[in-house]
Amino acid sequence: MNQYYSKQLFVNDIIAAFIVTALLIPQSIAYAMLAGLPPQVGLFSSILPIVVYSLFGSSTTLSVGPVAIISLMTASAIGSVSENVDVGYAEASIVLALLSGLFLVLFGLFRLGLIINFISKPVVSGFITASSLIIVAKQIDHFSAFDISSFNSTLALGVTCLTILLLNKQFGTQIFSRLMPAGIANLISKAVPFLLVVLASCMSFFFDLEAIGVAVVGYIPQGLPSISFAEVDVSIVEKLALPALMISLIGYVESVSVAQTLGAKKRETIIPNRELIGLGASNIASGLSGGMPVTGGFSRSAVNFEAGAATKLSNLYVALGVALAALFLTPYIYYLPKVVLASLIIVAVIGLMEFVVFKRTWLYSKSDFLAVAATVVITLTSGVEAGVISGVIISLCLHLYRTSKPHIAEVGLLEGTEHFRNVKRFDVTTCPRVLSVRQDESLFFANAEMLQAYVLNELYKRDQIAHVIIQCSAVNEVDYSALTMLENLNNKLFEQGVLLHLSEVKGPVDDKLATAGFYDRLTGNKYLSQYDAFEALKR
């Protein structure tokens, strides 16, 4: 062990673990309450899941636990099922975590890690931004009080905490760096939320803020979570299956994005399928230990990275720290004002909002802008579950729309080279007898007819054409519908005395066309390069 895990690595991991634990304890409690669950559920969700992820996950810096967006989705899901089925929030949360974990593990076993590519980034940004707005709106309620006499105290405490957290987020490191080395200043800035929680709890205790109507966290049972295998009502599973699937997708997208961002800084390879299994096992562990759905959080993962975490053992130390807090610190958390936790959540989700995506997508792609806008509107008006579903559907529809309208160009030879470029963009050499066409997309059922229509339209406009060359350099796949189109096009051209040729066919596509016997029926030839085809046919 000493050969591989040196004293310096141990020190780095311990320091990082202390900072992350200080951030994670109040966050876990806050996110549990955001989900409508008892505070201890947040702590339970930050012990065993972290340990399990360290065993199965591929990232050394990702910190798994409750996060704001998943907590909001959890609140929506368990609130909905509790209205229709006689089940408590805590029980529903456990089932939700187990189902989410099961979905993720199954995705991993079937090697579906690339599902992250089927949810577009603009849609995810729109969903997260809308969800963050919902969260902020919910947390503002904590800044008021039912008793008008305590309203000013609650509001003053909340605004003060919110101001401190926002100033620290924006200028904390800069301010502290004037008093100490930059590295230490950064760590102190990260610890400010924890220090604020401690200070607010002390103030609440000594000034008895609860007595004047300021809402506090209240009693949190001491002790560690116990592993349980309680029987689950099938009706609850049926109600929570779809929300669990949505939570799995969003949690995976968020987690892998964080892991890849931080992994790039450490030159660390993130394995998507392993991440699915790691996150799935973590959620199952959370459910078995009385927790809620979890995923990798950006803020604490970034803190873990910046604090110098060297190995996965830093996460184990974090789990140990949270376990000690569950054992010994919960009596002191009793006095923590809820408005302080609300401030923590607001500051955390403000950083997730990406309003700039509206401007950027409007300027870059109107279809992406419409997708973002639709996702935001649906999430705000119909809830997070509808927002996720619409986001997935919109992403898939965008993909089908774009691939069904491929860019098709007639190409010609750049003088003095063997390269072919769009005749509308470059001064190129062409031949009246040869029509060279390039489609910048794979050929499949949704776009195959467009290529045929383009070729036939050009053929009807030019009587001299004797050869048609389809440059396949951008074609990575040809499905059966596209194969049928090529065969029909081949026949139609031949009936008019025109030969069809293919160039630059990629290996996998070439193999499939050969297996289907297409080349036996091809009236023209297959060429290794577009240049070879053009030179052979222009005569």
Comparing 524 with 7, which gets the higher pLDDT?
524
Residue 2 has pLDDT above 50, yes or no: no
Residue 168 has pLDDT above 80, yes or no: yes
CA distance 318 to 47: 8
CA distance 290 to 512: 51
pLDDT, averaged across the chain: 89
Domain ranges for the chain, please list them. 7-351, 408-537
CA distance 286 to 41: 9
Confidence of residue 73 (pLDDT cuts 50, 70, 90): very high
Instruction: List the Cα angle 500/505/509 in 5-degree steps.
Output: 110
Which H/E stretch holds residue 416?
none
State mean pLDDT over 205-213.
89
CA distance 282 to 295: 8
pLDDT of residue 119: 74
Confidence of residue 151 (pLDDT cuts 50, 70, 90): low
Comparing 430 with 20, which gets the higher pLDDT?
430
CA dihedral (165, 256, 305, 322) in degrees, to 10, reads 70
Can you name the residues that pair with 121 across neighbouring β-strands?
none
pLDDT in tens, 23-66: 889 889 999 999 999 999 999 999 999 999 999 999 988 889 99
Residues of the chain with pLDDT > 90, as a percent, come to 53
Residue 1 has pLDDT above 50, yes or no: no
Among 119, 120, 124, residue whose Cα is nearest residue 352: 124
pLDDT of residue 230: 67
pLDDT of residue 261: 82
Residue 167 has pLDDT above 60, yes or no: yes
Residue 228 has pLDDT above 70, yes or no: yes
State mean pLDDT over 402-416.
91
pLDDT of residue 511: 96
Residue 71 has pLDDT above 80, yes or no: yes
Residue 148 has pLDDT above 70, yes or no: no
Task: Please state the pTM of the whole predicted model.
Answer: 0.80
Token pair for residue 18? 């202390």
Least confident interval from 223-237, 310-324, 454-468 = 223-237
How many CB atoms are located within 10 Å of the residue 88 CB?
Answer: 11
Confidence of residue 354 (pLDDT cuts 50, 70, 90): confident
pLDDT in tens, 246-280: 899 889 988 888 888 888 888 888 888 999 999 99
pLDDT of residue 47: 95
Which CATH homologous superfamily contains domain 408-537? Answer: STAS domain (3.30.750.24)
CA distance 517 to 410: 27
CA dihedral (16, 124, 276, 65) in degrees, to 10, reads 40
- Residue 493, class by beta-carbon neighbours within 10 Å (0-12 exposed, 13-18 middle, 19+ buried)? buried
CA distance 83 to 80: 5
